[in-house]
Amino acid sequence: MAKPEPSVEGPAEGRGIGEVLQLLQAEFADVTISKIRFLEAEGLVTPARTSSGYRKFSAADVERLRYVLTAQRDQYLPLKVIKEHLGAIDRGLRPAAGGPPVAPSSLPEPPRLPVADDFGAAGIDLKLTREELRAAAGISAELLGELEGHGLVVARGNHYDGDAIVIARLAADFAPYGIEPRHLRPFRTAADREAGLIEQVTGPRRTEQTEELAALAVRLHAALVRSRLPR
């Protein structure tokens, strides 16, 4: 019978370095406390510290260590590359076997008839670079430039979120019908007005009420468009 994999779930305050070593040695026989301390010194994991200076590793810290050790053992990756991968994961990308992390490939598409639970399904907490967005959405640099030029896709700081992927994919789906980004500006204008109305009611902070009102707005918008199409 296969030996069960040890659980990484531990006490709320975290695990000591000795406990973490025991967990990892079940899978990585050659790992040592010195190795864990070295990975911490290199900035690949940053456990919390008690007032006495003792390390306390969370479940996420243990999984991070497991990722590093697996990448070293199975892919022979240098720590510099692994650190870049971890940075991408911190931005919301997902680990990929045998390569750098990638944006989720199965982001929920906006449903034809949205309901409250559907709104915000695309709002995954991603922070993508421009090239990562293009790869995730499967669009050209030219199309992305047009979408940005017409205010349909907007970077938040230096990155793009999950909504940007969905918008870009939908814009690409419109293209075979001869509908270009410039034709989609009325959607952006309507969205700006709807968002402004909701913000007047709920204030600038995004809350559960914001989500509920936004879902109602999306449903109303879909019904109004459908009601104006030929029967």
Task: Look at the chain and count its residues.
Answer: 231
Whether 17-90 and 116-227 share one fold: the answer is: yes
Q: What is the mean pLDDT of each run of 10 residues along the chain (231 residues)?
A: 45 83 94 96 94 93 93 90 89 78 58 33 70 90 96 92 91 95 95 93 89 91 90 79
pLDDT of res. 136: 86
Per-residue burial over 185-224, b = 16 or more CB atoms within 10 Å of its CB, e = otherwise: eebbeebeebeeebeeebeeeeeeebbebbbbbbbeeeee
pLDDT of res. 102: 76
What's the CA gap between 57 and 20, in Å, rounded? 7
- Where are the chain's structural domains? 17-90, 116-227
pTM of the model: 0.62
pLDDT of res. 147: 96
pLDDT of res. 94: 82
Top CATH class of 116-227 equals mainly alpha
% helix / strand / coil in the chain, to the nearest 5? 55, 5, 40
174-182 contacts: CB < 8 A, separation 24 or more? 175/143, 180/146, 181/143, 181/146, 181/147, 181/149, 181/150, 181/152, 182/146, 182/150
pLDDT of res. 105: 56
CATH number of 17-90: 1.10.1660.10
